[in-house]
Structure formats: structure tokens, C-alpha cells
Amino acid sequence: MKPFNVYSLFDIEITRAKGSLLWDDKGNQYLDLYGGHAVISVGHSHPYYVEMLKEQLEKIGFYSNSIKINLQNELADKLGNLSGYPDYDLFLCNSGAEANENAFKLASFHNGRKKIIAFKGSFHGRTSLAVAATDNPSIVAPVNQNENIVFLPFNDIETFEQAIGDDICAVVIEGVQGVGGINIPTPAFLKRVEALCNKHGVLLILDEVQSGYGRSGNFFAHQYADIKPHIITTAKGMGNGFPIAGVLISPEIKSKLEMLGTTFGGNYLACAAGIAVLDIIKNEKLVENALDKGNYLTEKLKGIPSIKEVRSVGLMTGIELYGPCAEVRKTLLNEYKIFTGSSSNKNTIRLLPALNVTREHIDQFIEALQNVLQPEAIQS
């Protein structure tokens, strides 16, 4: 048997990692400014994180959700306090797509409606309704096509005002569109969406799977707009690589036994990883660091004239060039040993560094990018 061939792969085998650095099997060192696809929040192999997972595994790794697992309470408590949502409930699951599926289910259980508003440029996952609400027809199988999803232009208040009504179940929007190329919802748009959702009994779902957990310089990106969604979904940075996801649920949404469930969600190891991440973020003031280093990075990028546009919130950064960025990324990786991300906007490089990235790492990247953006430097 061999792995099903669905990923385009770099010919690199990473065997070790620490903080924002990676090493391959030949001993080459790399700088990870992609955070392993927005997953690495507290840095690779953080000693506190490693120790907590090891200790937990020595005690017990898994039992089912048919017994009390006190670590779930500790995780919920710490997440509520650090994120500014102490009165919300937490449903634990395993991936971003699963968190969104559960969010849609909850919204529909709550108001009995079916229609969901999503936005152009969105990405919400690859399963069932999550992929139906994702603006990429090439990954939507016929069985996933769903007439209950309506796509509206992003940041367009007028069109939204015309589309929202008492027939809508939920509105789903990313805190910052990540896969779409770092597209930032304006606070005015988010505030209007929130107000109209409340007026029409529509549930507002903030997909913070990529933009959450501090990378935006706030715990959740939507907190810049001072809005309060009914449901917030989170995953990626939540476990720093251990699969864990969460649905934060407003107290006005009531639970009923068996309405949601999962075998693996909230297991001991996942909770230990989640608690370790929150402890590190809090103790090392990493949300503040993300804001500080994000501002530094943006300022430096804005000084490079061959960049068309920089879109950033904290460390979540989109660097839009005047043409396709694929060759620039390839040269950054092969010549300068720096991992960056792509996006569905072919001209935009996406950066999602760990929250504890340093100024030195940013300087290293800026120097490399300046060199690569000299026209003659691009690899053919």
C-alpha cells in the first residue's frame, strides 16, 4: 500500500524541529514562516508542550466520552478566560472541518432553519456542508453540492442587507480569509453582519480555524471589530500539531443530550496538548508578541517597492506581488531555506509564523525576499 496521491509535495524530508526552525534528513536548516500550515502556534517541540504530552501519555492516553474527563473542564476554563469568552460552552472535536460541521448543525438545531450565507473567497473545510460553504467548486463533489448555501461578495454591506432575512439559518465568515489570500473583513462589515443576524434570529458563525489562537494579534481575529458571534470554531493552532478542534457556543444556545458527539474529541492527549498551548500563550505573552512582530514584519514589507500590496493582521500576512508568486516561493525555499505558504490568489504569498517568531527571523526573511525580488534572482 502507498499513500493516496492528493498532495503536491516538496522533495524534502523534515526530521527535526525547534521553535521556528526545521531540519531535514541531510542536516539542512529551514526557517518555518508557514507554521506548518497555520498549525504551529507556540513553536515546534516547545519543551513545556513536549513534557505535558509525555506526562499525560504515561498516565492515560484515551478513554471514551462516556466518563468524566476533567482535563476537558480545565481546557474549557482556560480557553474561556484567555479568549474573552468565559461564559461560552466548548464542544471538542478533531479538525477544522468537523468544528464547522458541528457549528452548522447547532445553528440549524437552534432555529430550525436551513439556509446558510457564506462569502466569496471562503474556505471552511473539505467535508459535507463545510466544503459546500467553501468557494472552490473544484473540491466540491456532486454529493456535496447543496442548494442551501448562498455565496455573497465579501465586505459588501449592501448585498448582504438584501440577502439576510428570517429564512436564513446562519452566516459563516472567517475572522480573516486565509486560503483566499489574507482578505480582511472590515470592522464596519462585521458590525453590520452582527446587527442584522441578531435582528433576524440568524446565528453568526466565526470560523477562526486559521485566524484564531493569537496569530492575528488578538486571541480571535474578529475581536478587532468588537463583535460577539453566537458560535466560534477553532482548530489548527489549538493543539500545535496535535489534532484538536473546538466549537465555542453562546449561552443562548442550549445543549441536548446526544445532539453532537465524536469518539476522539476531547481525549486526554488532545486536552493535554490544548492546555499546554494555552499555558504557553499566556505565560509567554504570545498574543502580544504576535502583534508586535506582526507590526514589525508589515512595516518592513511595506518598504519593499516591488510588492504590490501587504495585507496583514498581526502575524497573518499576505504579500501580493505583481505576478504569480510560485517561483518566488520556490527560490525562497530552495536557495534561502525558508518555508512560506501559497493561497488561492496566485499572486499572494501567505505567511503564518509561530507566535514566538523573532525579529531576527523576520530580518532573515526580509533580506531573502529583497534578494529574490530582484528580477534576475528568480529560479527558472
| Binding stretches for ligand PLP (CB under 6 A) | 95-97, 100, 123-125, 174, 178-179, 207, 209-210, 235
Q: For residue 93, list its beta bridge partners.
A: 245
CA distance 40 to 38: 6
SS3 201: coil
Distance of CA 224 to the CA centre of its chain: 16
- Minimum CB separation of residue 95 from ligand PLP in Å reads 4
End-to-end Cα, the chain, rounded Å: 35
d(CA 262, CA 265): 5
**φ and ψ at 316, to 5 degrees?**
-75, 110
CB of 208 to ligand PLP, least distance (A): 8
Query: What DSSP assignment string belongs to 235-264?
Result: -GGGTTTS--EEEEE-TTSPP-TTSS--SS
Helix (H, G, I), strand (E, B), or coil: what is residue 154? coil
Nine-digit cell at 282? 499566556
CB of 131 to ligand PLP, least distance (A): 9
- The residue nearest ligand PLP at its CB is 96
Give me the least distance between CB of 55 and ligand PLP, in Å please: 26
CA distance 266 to 99: 12
CB of 306 to ligand PLP, least distance (A): 28
Q: Tell the smallest beta-carbon distance from residue 337 to ligand PLP (Å).
A: 24
What distance in Å separates the CA atoms of residue 55 and residue 159, rounded to the nearest whole number?
53
| Nearest to ligand PLP of 194, 207 (CB atom) | 207
Cβ burial, residue 168 (10 Å; 0-12/13-18/19+): buried
Residue whose CB is less far from ligand PLP, 206 or 271: 206
Q: Which is nearer to ligand PLP, 124 or 361 (CB)?
A: 124
* Least gap, CB of 304 to ligand PLP (angstroms): 26
| Cα separation, 176 vs 161, whole angstroms | 21
Could you tell me the smallest distance in angstroms from the CB atom of residue 61 to ligand PLP? 21
Those residues whose C-beta lies under 8 Å from the C-beta of residue 260, and which sit 6 or more positions away, are 91, 102, 105, 106
d(CA 343, CA 348): 6
